[in-house]
Homo-oligomer: A and B are copies of this chain.
Amino acid sequence: MGLIVQKYGGSSVADAEGLKRVASRIVATKKAGHQVAVVVSAMGDTTDGLIELAEQVSPMPNGRELDMLLTAGERISMALLAMAIGNLGHEARSFTGSQAGVLTTSAHGKARIIDVKPGRIVEALNDGAIAIVAGFQGVNQDTNDVTTLGRGGSDTTAVALAAALEADVCEIYTDVDGVYTADPRIVPTARKLNSVTYEEMLELAASGAKVLHLRCVEYARRYDLPIHVRSSFSNLEGTWVVKDHPEGANMEQAIISGVAHDKSEAKITIVGVPDRTGVAARIFQTIADTDINIDMIVQNVSAASTGLTDISFTLPKSDGLEATTILKAIQGEIGFHSLQYDDQIGKLSLVGAGMRSHPGVTATFFACLAEAGLNIEMISTSEIRISVIVREIDLEKGVKAAHTAFNLDGEDEAIVYSGTGR
C-alpha cells in the first residue's frame, strides 16, 4: 500500500468516454490498495477555446482575469472526473488549486509554485476518498487571486503535490508509452527507455522532447521524487525518471539515451556589430530584460580590417517579433549594420550520461550528419548533451541518421496512440 499521485493530460480526458476510461484506471489503482491523488488538465482544447473568447473581447486581456477564465477549464474536467469515479461506486472529491493549497507567486499566466499545503487533500485521502486536483493553477498567497502556472503547469502541479504528500511515485499519463530514444513519428524504430535520470530528462526536455516539461523535472529532481511516464491507453510499464539508473540497467546502459529535436526556435543574426567591450553584454542584457530566453549564441571572429563582428543567437519563434523590435530600437546606440531573422532552423540534440566518458561521441555525431549531407550552423554542448542547429528541412533526416549511428534502433515499431506525439 502506497500513496500514488497520477496526472492525466487534456487528451486523456477529451470527452465523456476519455473521462470514464481514466476513472476506471484510477479506481483500479485504488482497488489495488493505494491512496490516490489525481491531477487533471482541462479537457481537450478547452483552454484554446477560452483563449479565443478572451481575444474576441479584448486584444490585451488583463492577466488576473485571463487566469480566472482559464482556471474554469480544469474546474470542469475535475468535477466531471469526480462524478465519473462516483458512478463507479468510489468516493472522489475535487479541489481547485487554491483548495489544494497550491501557493504561487503573483505572476499571472506564468506563476511559480512557492509551496503546497495540501491539508484538504490529506484529509480526503485519510477519509478513504480519491482526491482530484486541478492542474495548472494555484493561488497568489498574498492577494488570494487565482493564478496559472503556464506551459507544462499540470505536470508541475502533480510533481509538487506528490512531493508535498511524500508520495511514493508520481505517474504522468500521456498518449505514448513513455520516453523514447527519438520521436516515434520520425523514427518508427525508436525504443522506449525503461529509465532515464533527472539529468538526462532535463536535457531531453530542454532539447525539445515534449513528453515532460522542464520545470516539472527540476521539481522532481529537487525532491528526489520518482516519476513514472506511461500511457493512459495501455497497462504497459512506461519510463521511470529517477536519480540513478537502476542496478543492472547501468551495465547495459547505452552511451546515448536519446535524440531530441526542436522546430520551435528561430535565429537572429546581428550583422556588423562594433567589436568593443560591453557591446555584446548590452545587447543580451536588453533582451534578458524582456524575459526572452536565449538558447544558443555564436559570435564570429572579428575581421581585423573592419573591427566589426556578427553575433547570432537562437530564441523561441514566438519571441521573434519582440526581440527584433527591441534590437532595432537600440540600433543607433549600438551602431550595428542590420538584422537577419531566420525561422527555418531546427535543433538536433544528442543526450546521454554515457557520453561523459566517451570522447568519440562528438566525432561520430558530426560524421553521421556529414554523411547525411547536413550543414551544421551552430553548436552547443553540455556534459551530457550536444546540440546543433541545421536547416529545418534537414532535421528529420538528421534525427534518423543519429539514431542509427548510435545503435538506438529497436526491433519493433513504437506505439503512438494519437497524432499529437504527447
Binding site for B on A (CB under 8 A): 16, 19-20, 23, 50, 53-54, 56-62, 64-66, 68-69, 71-73, 75-76, 78-84, 86-87, 92-94, 99, 144
Contacts and interface: CB of A to CB of B under 8 A. Distances in A.
B66 A79 contact: yes
Contacts of A93: 64-65
Given A16-B56, A56-B16, A94 B82 contact: no
Contacts of A82: 62, 65, 68
A57 B99 contact: no
Chain copies in complex? 2
Contacts of A19: 57
A24 B62 CA distance: 17
Contacts of A23: 57
A75 B68 contact: yes
Contacts of A72: 72-73, 75-76, 79
Contacts of A57: 16, 19-20, 23, 80-81, 83-84, 87
B71 A83 contact: no
Contacts of A69: 75-76, 79-80, 83
Contacts of A76: 50, 53, 69, 72
Contacts of A20: 57
A54 B80 CA distance: 6
7 contacts: A16-B56, A57-B80, A57-B87, A65-B80, A69-B75, A72-B79, A99-B144
Given A16-B56, A57-B20, A68 B94 contact: yes
A98 to B, nearest CB: 9
Contacts of A84: 57-58
A75 B71 contact: yes
B78 A68 contact: yes
Contacts of A66: 79, 83
Nearest to A75: B72
Nearest to A74: B72
Contacts of A79: 54, 65-66, 68-69, 72
A211 to B, nearest CB: 27
Nearest to A78: B68
A381 B404 CA distance: 89
Nearest to A54: B83
Contacts of A83: 54, 57-58, 61-62, 65-66, 69
Contacts of A92: 65
A32 to B, nearest CB: 23
A66 B93 CA distance: 11
B86 A65 contact: yes
Given A58-B83, A87-B58, A16 B53 contact: yes
